Structure formats: structure tokens, C-alpha cells
Amino acid sequence: MISFESDYICGAHPLVLKALTETNMECLSGYGSDKYCDSAKEKIKKAVGIPEAEVEFLVGGTQTNSVIISTMLSDYEGVIAAKTGHISTHEAGAIEYTGHEVLEIPQENGKIAAAVLKEYLTGYFADENHEHMTRPGMVYISHPTEYGTLYSKAELSEISEVCREYEIPLFLDGARLGYGIMSYDTDVTLQDVGKLCDVFYIGGTKVGALCGEAVVFTKGNKPKHFLTSIKRRGALIAKGRLLGVQFDTLFTDDLYFKISKHAIDMAEKLKDICRAHELSMFLESPTNQQFVVFEDEKLKKLQKKVAVSFWEKPDKNHTVVRLATSWSTTDEDLAELDKALS
Amino acid sequence: MISFESDYICGAHPLVLKALTETNMECLSGYGSDKYCDSAKEKIKKAVGIPEAEVEFLVGGTQTNSVIISTMLSDYEGVIAAKTGHISTHEAGAIEYTGHEVLEIPQENGKIAAAVLKEYLTGYFADENHEHMTRPGMVYISHPTEYGTLYSKAELSEISEVCREYEIPLFLDGARLGYGIMSYDTDVTLQDVGKLCDVFYIGGTKVGALCGEAVVFTKGNKPKHFLTSIKRRGALIAKGRLLGVQFDTLFTDDLYFKISKHAIDMAEKLKDICRAHELSMFLESPTNQQFVVFEDEKLKKLQKKVAVSFWEKPDKNHTVVRLATSWSTTDEDLAELDKALS
Amino acid sequence: MISFESDYICGAHPLVLKALTETNMECLSGYGSDKYCDSAKEKIKKAVGIPEAEVEFLVGGTQTNSVIISTMLSDYEGVIAAKTGHISTHEAGAIEYTGHEVLEIPQENGKIAAAVLKEYLTGYFADENHEHMTRPGMVYISHPTEYGTLYSKAELSEISEVCREYEIPLFLDGARLGYGIMSYDTDVTLQDVGKLCDVFYIGGTKVGALCGEAVVFTKGNKPKHFLTSIKRRGALIAKGRLLGVQFDTLFTDDLYFKISKHAIDMAEKLKDICRAHELSMFLESPTNQQFVVFEDEKLKKLQKKVAVSFWEKPDKNHTVVRLATSWSTTDEDLAELDKALS
Amino acid sequence: MISFESDYICGAHPLVLKALTETNMECLSGYGSDKYCDSAKEKIKKAVGIPEAEVEFLVGGTQTNSVIISTMLSDYEGVIAAKTGHISTHEAGAIEYTGHEVLEIPQENGKIAAAVLKEYLTGYFADENHEHMTRPGMVYISHPTEYGTLYSKAELSEISEVCREYEIPLFLDGARLGYGIMSYDTDVTLQDVGKLCDVFYIGGTKVGALCGEAVVFTKGNKPKHFLTSIKRRGALIAKGRLLGVQFDTLFTDDLYFKISKHAIDMAEKLKDICRAHELSMFLESPTNQQFVVFEDEKLKKLQKKVAVSFWEKPDKNHTVVRLATSWSTTDEDLAELDKALS
């Protein structure tokens, strides 16, 4: 049985595993103070194009969202996010666990609009009782979004501008950032993300690593004593090398971008196959996650041969499922899918 | 200048103050262990009609919401509330401060519908990934709501039934409960509230006390070691008598209900005055809070003589304001208002 | 039966109650924005001798400790306190509830020494792994301490100096500050406290108020958006006047100091009585709390006529109890005690 | 340069890495639902000798302590630990971050005594004001302790008995459990740990894994909806296989115990070398962590060739350092150390 269930069904990209193996017996200090972490940080800063950026590694996506948001917000602040944002719905209340409110605003296809954001902020400050309400202290967006969609450079710039007007940092969740950057249909580069955001992360778990996310603070704004804050959230690992070696490899010879590109190529072919089988797409996604509407009977048949992810039920007889490609998807997988759909 | 700004503009009902004065020099033990607390609890249990109920006193509304919700929820649970619920918007993230998510659902005029609640719960449990989402662990409603509206007995019963079906406690925020019970337009009694809810509170601050809310656990469900939990939230006061004496007075000779009735009588007269001046009501409120739409020019004139509360701006030239009556509103106040509107 | 159980056995000083009664029917805005709060703040600033100080009112002691400590500490910081400090032992983990560690250091008779404090801080920064430990971010002392003892001006100055050297704010818990200031055996004035501490509070609950503590930020260091932070901790009361009127009265015509002085006079007489009956004092306390060692048999007899507080058992046959005087203690009470001890 | 800095200086044991490589391209579901997690759990339950035990995997030690303690404690409870316990001092306040107090009790060489524990618990319940104090809700011990020492079976049984008498769960931090079990000087088996503790974990990070700890609930006491609680603490990783494959390998053919035994053999040889060089041991440690007292001059010389860990300064001219062996320590390393000490 083949699987398009997610982009984390396989282990690590072979080159990542090779690097872990080759460095395995080296004696290194713990907690991220090793040379591979240092090297990976340098490579990432270069790729982002901000020499003075500060980079830190964490283990997973929810952890990263929780650590960044809770260390950057002040006590009285909350974080604005789309109603469909990962932190709003699928992280089991991880932000609230840190004591902070997620201030949900309307979205379209997973994206928030600068105008909607501005309206929210204007409304907050115009309310005479706003000191009795959670103060907005950060804007969270995901790129690609939970629906695989992307912000255009213009859209991202507008959101960034609103944030600057209100002096609120913009945080971009890049759990799948590689797939966004390498989409056929984007004008947003990694450098743009660095310029327009105050903090963001480059996802490893879903783009070729066993685990790991690289957080980038772009404006000398890394929280003070960040290591202590990470530690007390249980998010500091002893063998920091595990993250350092992986990101060092991913950012050597553009591996991160090459494998992201591969996943995009595979996704475009997958879309062709869906079209050929006259399947209806739930929405237009230019990245590696594709949302397809199936008649329930047809889906049941497919699932005997292909693993996919349940997304939602638009009506009684149909189901939206997600098919994700990744660095590990092969042409053979696609051929099997094609056959299974026939 | 007269004021309809809120129902907490004056001190305490004179009889409450008299009792505080008369008992002032008695030596009593602290932390709620005095005889006035005991007596008040007995009277409240009798009024609610549940001899085995457990009653505790807290200082204010937000504190009460925060203490009840955070001690009754399990770690992995959140509380369902209307998007307009006090805990959702006007308590500065007090529930999130305790680590728990407020799960907002749609509302109408401040009220949630049993069908909407059921749909939410069904959807949660049907989602194959629901273990990655905050589990609903309580339903919060306010009665009267933040818009002064009331649930009918049938509506409340339906919500209560959904809660029982899903084994989730129903919590009723009764910061203004007296005004709800004594409305001309309700079939819900205090005994009904006791029967249909798992926990609720009888508001003192907005109904004649200097401060204080009486929490009622109706089903032997008071959290274990509740005093310790209250203490560590900074919510335990040394002179528990301050709350005990006040509630003992409010529940002697039906004072709580009589002064609530007075506020309702005043509110009905206020509505008549508004109608006479052809003012448009923002919505139909059967309780002591009235929401009136004003042309901005007219409002500015009024505010020179009468204090009211800003609520929201429905459009550029109009403002919705709240006028609240209370136990302290007089016929003279209403006459002044009438004059000011002319 | 007479009571020396605590300094919060009676209601409010009659003048406080009178002021609450006289202002009862005035219409005032809520949440501390009324004229009595304003007036009380001015009077307190004058008494402290710091015109630019910022004053806020909260309801009780544990709440005040919790609000101040948690809003002034950074995420990665904890608060240093004596092992016997109120926040260390008798507040049910209220500081930990806010996510922060209490860093306990050794004490003597409830007091910490500047040298011990300095040793702790030096040790922390000398430890090569200190980033893996909670960073000390505040020093908490109580004055009078939990044992009724007092810091001398020299001791307080030394502690303050260490704090400044390490750039850590000094917070003084003054739940019983009046009794400290008016002790026969102190050279510390209210102005000294203001000069030497970064933040402190003037206790009302135990010095003549029904409830209430007045927090004083002495260096323009009131946390930003403090009202929002108070609100989300459930510590903001609607009728802020309740606190404003009380403190306005307490700081009119030196009432706070006069009634504190009365309690001290009574305590000195109480000590004389104990001496006359050849009772052994657990330690030398120059304030209103006296700790007396009783043979258990003798204590049992006393408790039939006089209420006292259990403190600890130094051995099998003895018990230490606390006898507290206050503004409400009378010469008749002392005479009764004398008789009961015979 | 060779290193005895810690037991986490190298990557993973080669067999662990081999298993990760061999399973790398298998498509597996996420979040711990894969067959390797299942298999590892079965093997661990068998090794512990409790078929009905429940096993869960987490990433690191601090995270594991924080997740277990905060999900097993009730709101009003704290955890008892030695003053030198890892959670008390070296986890940057991770337990307090979850809102709970660490109740420190005296220790000797890192160990608490059943009698001291019992005295603490007796004292708590005898105190008439104990409801104003954090209720003890769990006992935390580490085995080996932070000083490398071990509890005897008799000591562990006595502590377990006190816990049962007070109905408080006993939690054993086994970050280095393998080294404890395989010590030459212990009568405590893995099965004993299972029988005597309510919950414990088998450390992977420090015993041959890249990362990972296996938590064992021995009495059907795994917290309800544990996955949701893990997720909201940011502690759930997408590729659960990373932990499953590693523990599956460690518990195949007794690898975990064999490599632990190797580290112990190396530690005994290391002790012989220290003795031969007439070095003074800070305390007697029967496990892989050895604490050696050095004259500062001598230490400086050594550190040019051998990496060790700073522990503490017993006086001006001496330093205690830690030398740790592990699965990766070789006879060559020891020979180098011997030479460097000459």
C-alpha cells in the first residue's frame, strides 16, 4: 500500500541520515553549543540574507509555536491568527496552555487579509473598554497555510505594514516553508520572508528531517535568556547536534530547496492525475498538500490501496481528503495512485 | 448629573451596609469560617431548593468565572461559550491565563442555541483528529446575557440536556441573575437554574452588594480541596465575613429579589420613556440593561446631563449605548432622563 | 470569649465604615477610576514622600503578592524569599500558580541577611550551568516578617544595595506595615521603605480595612497595561470605590498610623502580662504578633476563655501559639487575658 | 582531546542508528501510532514484567518530568523532591512553569530517606492551617540520583510504603536508569522499580539513543487523554517512529542493559585510575557519574587534554568535577585519561 497521508510518513532524507551517521562518534558538547549547530546557523542566515539574524533550533512545530509566541508576548497580550490557523484549532490549546489567548479573525482559504487585520486592530483600539480585553501583541500567519495556499508578496507586504503601523511583530509559521518557496505559483522568496517578518521558522520535520524546526529572529529581537526559557518549557534537548547536523545538511548545496522542489513537481503531477480522473479539488493549492473531494463510495475503494488523510465532510455523501507529496514521493507512487483511481 | 452607566455605580443597598455596621465589632474567624457565611449558605441553599447544594463566596465576576472554570476543567479541556460571552471578550483573557481555551460558538443576541451546541460537540467527536484539539469540557452561558437577554425555560432545558448527553457540566454566569429571575418576561426561576445547571453563581456586586458572588454547586460536585485552589489563585479573602454578612442580608426577607424587581420596574419605565422619545432599541432586552441607538449629535447632548456606557458603533453617525437600572435607580432619575431627552 | 486569634477578627475601623456609609449613594465610575481612589493615591504618595510614585489597590495579600511578582518578573525569572516567607509556605503555591519559582534562602527569625542574599546571587552567576537554572529576578521580604520581627534601617539598606548591584528589584510585603512603622523598636520609616524598595504594599486588611492593599511602585516601574494584567488575574473589582474610600480614610489625619500605634501599645502591654505570668516567648517580636510557648495543659485551659492561633509544636508537651493585637484590641481584652492566665 | 564531559557527548549507539537507517523509507503513520512504537512498548512491558503497564515515549528528560508531574498532580498539589533533585534546581523552573510547586525536603548524597519523607507528610497533615499550603501530591526521586548514588531495594521499598500510606504516587526519574540497574553495587532490578513505583521512565538520551525517554505507568494510571495533554505541552512529535525505532532496538537482545553494563565497567576502571593517582572522590558513586576533587592547578593541566564537567567549588583552591562514562567510552579513552593524570 502506498501513502499520501502526510509529508512526514518517511524518516529523513538519505543525505540527512548519512550526515548523522558520519558524525555519530564525534564527541560534542550538549544543548546546541556544538559546531554543527553553529555551522547550520551560519548557512541559514546566509540563505535568509540577514547576517545579523539569530537562529535557534527546536524539535517540532507545536513546540515552536508555543515557545515563540509565549516568549515574545507580554503578559497582557494575545496573538492574532486566522480561525483556521494551526494554533487556533489543531494544537490542543498549546498557546492557551502558556496563558495567552489566540485572537481569531476571519480568513479565506486559510489566509488572513491585511484589511481584515487592520479592521480588527482599529476596532480594538477604538473600543473605550479595550483595557478590559486581551491586547493584540503579535500576528501569526502560516505560509503555506493549513490549506496549502500561499500569500503573494504584495499580500505579505501589506500585512507586514499593518504590523509595523501598530508595532506588533509578525510571526510566520513555516512548518512547510520549503514547499511554499519552491511553488510554481509564488513570488515570495526566503529573503522576502526574512525582510517582512519579525520572526519565522523553517520547518524540518515535514521537509526531510527526522525532527526539527529552525527559528529565525530577523531584527535582533531574540528573547533575552532564551535558552532558560526553552529549558523551562521542556523544549531543550541534550544532544543539540541532532538538530544541528540535520539543518547543516539541509542547507548544504541547497538540499532543502531541491527536495522541496521535488515535492512540488510531484504535487503538480498529482493534480494532473486528479484532473484526468475528473476529481474535484476542494480548493486551488499551489503547494504539496492537495485537498480532493471524493464521493464516499469511490473513496472507500481508493483507501484499500492508497492511504490519505481525512479532512472534512462537506456533505453527507462526500468527503474531503488530503493527499500530500514530499521529498520521498516517487513517480511509482503516482503511477500507483493513477491506477488506483481508475 | 445622573447616571445610568452601570448597575454598580452606587455602594451597597442600605440594609447590607447596616448589617456590616451592626456586626462590625464581633470577633469572627477568618477565611469564610464564620457564622454569617454559614447562615448565608443555608439561606441560599433554601432559596435554590437544593439542600445538598454547596455554596462558596468569591469577590468578583471575572474571578469567579476563572476559579470555577479552571478548577472544574481537566487539563486537556476547554470551555464552550458564545462568541459574545463575557469570558470570550471582556475579561482580558482570564480563562486563558489559567491555561484553558475558550471554544467560541455562534450566538444570537448573546444566547447560544442547543442545536448549535450539539452540532459543535458532534463535529468535535466526529473529527478523526480530535485528540489533537482541545476537548470540550464545560458549557458556559450567562443569564441574563451580556445583551440583557434571557433563556426561556425550554431553551435552558434543551442546553442542559445536550450537556448531560455529552457528560459535560453546564455553568451559568449569574452576575446579574436577580434581574433575570425578576424579569416580567421569563419563566425561569432560581430553582430551575439549580435543577438545570451543574454550577452557577448568584451575583452580588451588580445586585446590591459592595462585592461578592455566591457560587452554587448543585450536584455534590464542588472541586476537592477547593479552599486551597481558591487560595493559590489569590482569591481567598481574610475577612470572609465581608461576603457572608452581605449575602446573609441579601437572602433575608427576599431582599435580593425585591431589589432586583425594583430594577426591572425601573427598566420597564425607562423603555417607556425611550419609546416616547421614539428612540430605537438595539435589541429587545427584558432585564435591567437597555441598549439604545442614538444619533451621535443627540447622544453628545444627552451625555452632558446623563452618564451612559458606550457599547458599539453600528455606523458612522450612530452609537449604541447601554443604560442600566439597578436597586438604586429612582423615579427622579427617570424623570431627569426624560427631561434630558426632550 | 475574647480573641487574640489574629489582626483580622473584627470588621473595619469605625471611621472607615463611616466613610463607606457616607459615600454610599454617590454615583461613581467603576474599576478604580473614581475620585476616592484618586484622593487616596495622592495621600499615600505624600505619606511615602515620593510624588512620582504610582499607587494601585488590590483586594488581599496573597493576591497582591501574586499580581506584583508575576507582572514584574520576566519569563525566565524567579523570586528570592526566606524559607519562612509567606509566599514560600502559606499561600498554597500562589506564586508557582503564575508559573514562577520561589527561590528559598536561609533566614533567621523570618529575616534574610544581605550577606546570605549576596552569597546566593554570587553563587548563581558563578555556576557555569546557571542558564539551566531559574534566574533570580526579584527579592521578596516581609516587614514585619511572618514572626513579627523587623529589619533595621541598616539591614534594609544593605539588602537594597545588593539588589541594586545585581539590578534586581526589591519587593517588600507590607501586609502589616503599619505595625512595623509604629513599633517602639524600629528606625525604619514609611519614607525609608519608599526609598529602599522598588515596590511595596501597605496592608489594609490587617490594619483596619475590610479588605484592600495599596501597592506603591516607587521608581516609575509600574508594569505596562497593569489594569489588563490585573483583570486577567481576576483581581480587578467593579466597585473600586470600596478600596479607594477605605484607604482615603486610613490616610486622612494619620488614622493608619494612629491605629497601628494603638495595636503596638496593646502588644507591649500583652508582653508585660506574659512576663508577669512567667510565660516564655518563642522569640522577641517588636510588633503586634506575639509568639508564646505554652505547656499544653495550660494552653487547653486558656483556650476555654481566649481564642489564639496555633503556630507550631516545639516538642511533645508544648505548643507555640500566636496572640495578635490590632486596632480593635481593648484594655478590657487584656484584662480578661490576664485573668484567664491566672 | 578526549571527553568525559557527560554521557551524551556521542550520537546514538551504532545499532540504534542502523535501525533508523534500515526503517527509514518505510511509510508509517505519525504521532506514535506506528508498529515500531507498538513493538517497543511490548518489549518494555515484558522487561519490566508488568503486562498491563502503559508505555509512552517523550523526547527529553525535563520534558518528561514536566509532562508526568503536571498531568498527574491535581490543581492544588505539589511534588516532593530532594533539594538536590533535578526538578528542584537544574530544570530552570520547568515544574513551576506548569503551575506546580516543588516541595523540597532534605537529602543525603542526592537521596531522600523514608523517615524524612514521612516526617514531612506527618507535619503537613498535623498543621492546622495546611489547607493554606500546597498539598503534597507526588514524590519524585531520581535513580541514579544527580550524584550517581543509588537507593537500595530496602530504601526504595520504605519510600514506596510511605507513599502508599499517604496515597501519593511515587515517580522515579530514570534518565540514567540503565546505569543504576547494571551497577555492581545494587540489589534493585528493573522489575523492582516497576513494582515499587507508580510511574517511572527509562532514559534513552543518556543511554544510547539520539533522544527519547520511555515513560511507564505501572498501575493503569496513565492520565486520561494523555495524547491531548502531551500535544498541548508541545511535546508530541510528528515522526513518533524516531522514538519507537530507537527503543525497539534498545530493548532487543538486552542492548539497553549491555551498553549500560559497559559504561559501569568503564566507570569502575576510571575509579581505579583515580585511586591510583591518589585523587579524592567527592562521594562514593556506584554508577557512571564520578565526582572527583581536584586541586585547581592540577585540574587546569588536565583540562588541556580531557574534557570534564564543572560541578562545584568546595573551597578556594579545589574544584569538584564530574567524569561520566557511557556506552561509547573506550579503554583507549581511559588510557588517555591515565596518561593525562600522570
Contact check, Cβ <8 Å, C131/A228: yes
Q: pLDDT per residue over B325-340, tens digit each?
A: 999 999 999 999 999 9
Cα gap D251→C123, rounded to integer Å: 42
Residue A28 to residue A295: CA distance in whole angstroms: 54
How high is the pLDDT of residue D1?
83
Our measurement of the distance from residue C221's CA atom to the centroid of its chain's CA atoms, rounded to an integer in Å, reads: 21
For residue C71, give the nearest of A75, A133, A134 by CB distance. Answer: A75
**Helix D255-276 vs helix D241-250: angle between axes, to the nearest 10 degrees?**
70
Following CA atoms D11, D16, D21, D23 in sequence, which dihedral angle do they give, to the nearest 10 degrees? -140
Which residues of chain B are within 8 Å of residue C91 when distances are taken between CB atoms?
A: 231-232
CB distance B53 to B299 below 8 Å: no
Across the interface, of B131, B135, B232, the residue whose CB is closest to D76 is B232
Contact (CB<8Å) D231/B131: yes
Other beta carbons within 10 angstroms of residue B246's beta carbon come to 28
- Chain D residues in contact with chain C using a Cβ-Cβ cutoff of 8 Å: 76, 78, 89-93, 96-102, 104, 126, 128-129, 131-134, 310, 313
Tell me which residue in B89, B90, B100 faces A93 most closely, judged by beta carbons. Answer: B100
CA distance B202 to B53: 13
Joined grid coordinates for residue C308: 489564639
Inter-chain touch C59–B61, beta carbons under 8 Å:
no
> Residues in chain B whose beta carbon is closer than 8 A to a beta carbon of chain A?
76, 78, 89-93, 96-102, 104, 126, 128-129, 131-134, 310, 313
Provide, as residue numbers in chain D, all residues whose Cβ is less than 8 Å from the Cβ of B76: 224-225, 228-229, 232
Cβ distance A34 to D20 under 8 Å?
no
Rg (CA), chain A: 20
Q: Nearest residue on chain B to D238, judged by CA atoms?
A: B132
pLDDT at B54: 98
The answer to whether C150 and C180 have CB atoms below 8 angstroms apart is: yes
Q: What is the pLDDT of residues A211-247, one digit of tens each?
A: 999 999 999 999 999 999 999 999 999 999 999 999 9
Which residues pair with residue B54 across a beta bridge?
Answer: B217
Say how many C-beta atoms besides its own lie within 10 A of residue A108's C-beta: 14
Query: Which H or E element spans position C312?
Result: strand C309-315
DSSP secondary structure string, B205-265? TTTT-SS-EEEEE-SS-PPTTHHHHHHHTT---S-THHHHHHHHHHTSTTHHHHHHHHHHH
What are the backbone angles phi and psi of residue A82, rounded to the nearest 5°?
Answer: -65, 150
Residue C1 banded pLDDT, cuts 50, 70, 90: confident
Which residue ranges in chain B fall short of pLDDT 70?
none
Chain C: residue nearest A131 by CA? C228
The SS3 of residue A8 is: coil
Residue D321's alpha-carbon distances to A49, A238, D247, D296, in angstroms, are 42, 19, 31, 11
Q: Which chains touch A (3 or more CB pairs under 8 A)?
A: B, C, D
Residues of A in contact with C133 (CB under 8 A): 228
Chain-chain contact of C93 with D104 (C-beta, under 8 angstroms): no
CA neighbours within 13 Å on the CB side: how many for B259? 26
Return the pLDDT at C313.
87
Nearest to D96 among C92, C101, C129 (CB): C101
Nearest to C250 by CA among C45, C16, C8: C16
SS3 B187: coil
Q: Any residues with CB less than 8 A from the CB of C85 and at least 6 apart, and which? A: C102, C104, C107, C140, C141, C142, C146, C173
Q: Chain C: list its partners (3+ Cβ pairs within 8 Å).
A: A, B, D
Give the residue from A46, A32, A30, A112 showing the smallest Cα distance to A79.
Answer: A112
DSSP label at A51?
T
Band of the pLDDT at C128, cuts 50, 70, 90? confident
Q: Please, which residues bridge with residue D105 across strands? A: D82
Given an 8 Å threshold on Cβ–Cβ distance, is A74 in contact with C225? yes
Angle at B249 between CA B243 and CA B21, to 5 degrees: 75
Cell numbers given for B68: 470555577
Top residue of C101, C105, C122, C127 to mutate, by most chain D CBs within 10 Å, is C101
Q: Number of B:D CB contacts under 8 A?
A: 49
DSSP string, C165-177: HTT--EEEE-TTH
CA D263 to chain centre: 15
Q: Most B CBs within 10 Å: which of C13, C57, C176, C233, as the mutation test of the B interface?
A: C233
| A–B CB contacts, 8 A cutoff, strictly below | 57
Q: How far apart are the first and last CA of chain B?
A: 16
Choose from B70, B87, B97, B310 for mutation: most chain A CBs within 10 A: B97
Query: Can you tell me the distance from the alpha carbon of D97 to that of D139, in angstroms, rounded to the nearest whole number?
Result: 18
d(CA C321, CA D76): 27
- Would the CB atoms of A96 and B78 count as touching at under 8 Å? yes
The reported pLDDT for the residue numbered A259 is: 98
Instruction: Report phi then psi at C77, rounded to 5.
Output: -105, 155
- State the best of C31, C68, C125, C228 to mutate against chain A, taking most chain A CBs within 10 Å: C228
Task: Report pLDDT for A292.
Answer: 97
Cβ within 8 Å, pair B75-D70: yes
Residues in chain C within 8 Å Cβ distance of D134: 92-93, 96
Listed as ranges, residues in chain D with pLDDT below 70 are: none
For chain C, the straight-line distance linking the first and the last C-alpha, in angstroms and rounded, comes to: 16
Which chains does chain B touch, 3 or more C-beta pairs < 8 A?
Answer: A, C, D
Q: How far apart are CA D137 and CA C41, in angstroms?
A: 43
pLDDT at residue C144 tops 90: yes
How far does the CA of residue C236 sit from the closest CA of chain A (Å)?
A: 10
Q: What is the pLDDT of residue D313?
A: 87
Q: Cβ contacts of residue C124 below 8 Å, gap of 6+?
A: C130, C133, C135, C136
Residue A298 DSSP code: H
Give kind and range of the element (H or E) at residue A67: helix A61-72
Place of cell 548591584: C165
Taking residues C323-328, what's their average pLDDT?
97
Kindly determine whether residue C224 and residue A76, on different chains, have CB atoms separated by under 8 Å: yes
Nearest CA to C55 among C257, C190, C232?
C190
- Torsion angle of C-alpha atoms D250, D255, D259, D262, degrees rounded to 10: 170
Q: Do the chains contact at A75 and C74, CB–CB below 8 Å?
A: no
Distances (CA, A) of C197 to C215, C218, C287: 12, 7, 21
Q: How far is C180 from chain B (nearest CA, A)?
A: 20
Please indicate whether, in this complex, the C-beta atoms of A25 and D9 are within 8 angstroms of each other: no
Q: How far is CA D26 from CA A12, A249, A325, B323, D35, in A?
A: 11, 21, 15, 67, 11
Confidence of residue A285 (pLDDT cuts 50, 70, 90): very high
Chains that touch D (3 or more CB pairs under 8 A): A, B, C
Beta carbons of B75 and D76 less than 8 Å apart: no
**CA-based nearest distance C119→chain B, Å:** 30
User: Could you say which of D78, D90, D104 has the minimum Cβ distance to residue C129?
Assistant: D90
Determine the 3-state secondary structure of C317 from DSSP.
coil
Quick: pLDDT tens for A105-152: 999 999 999 999 999 999 999 988 999 999 999 999 999 999 999 999
DSSP assignments along D200-217, one per residue: EEEE-TTTT-SS-EEEEE
Q: Do D232 and B134 make contact, defined as CB atoms within 8 angstroms?
A: yes
- The alpha-helical segments, DSSP class H, found in D23-113 are 35-48, 61-72, 86-89, 94-97
How close does chain C come to B84, measured CA to CA in Å? 17
**Residues B204, B44: Cα–Cα separation, whole Å:** 12
Distance separating the N- and C-terminal Cα atoms of chain A: 16
State the Cα–Cα distance between residues A20 and A3, nearest whole angstrom: 26
Spatial separation of the C-alpha atoms in residues A340 and C86, rounded to whole Å = 70
* Closest chain C CA to residue B228: C92
Instruction: Identify the CA nearest to D156 among candidates D180, D121, D122, D178.
Output: D180
Do D27 and A9 count as a contact with CB atoms less than 8 A apart? yes
Q: Is the pLDDT of residue C118 over 90?
A: yes
Closest CA of chain C from A77, distance in Å: 9
Contact call for residues A239 and D60 (beta carbons, < 8 A):
no
Query: From the CA of B142, how many Å to the nearest CA of chain C?
Result: 17
Contact D66 A241 (CB under 8 A): no
**A1 pLDDT higher than 90:** no
Chain centroid to Cα C220, Å, comes to 22
Question: What are the Cα distances from residue D99, in Å, to A188, A213, A296, C96, C98?
Answer: 42, 27, 46, 5, 6
C-alpha A323/C-alpha A308 separation (Å) is 6
DSSP D290: E
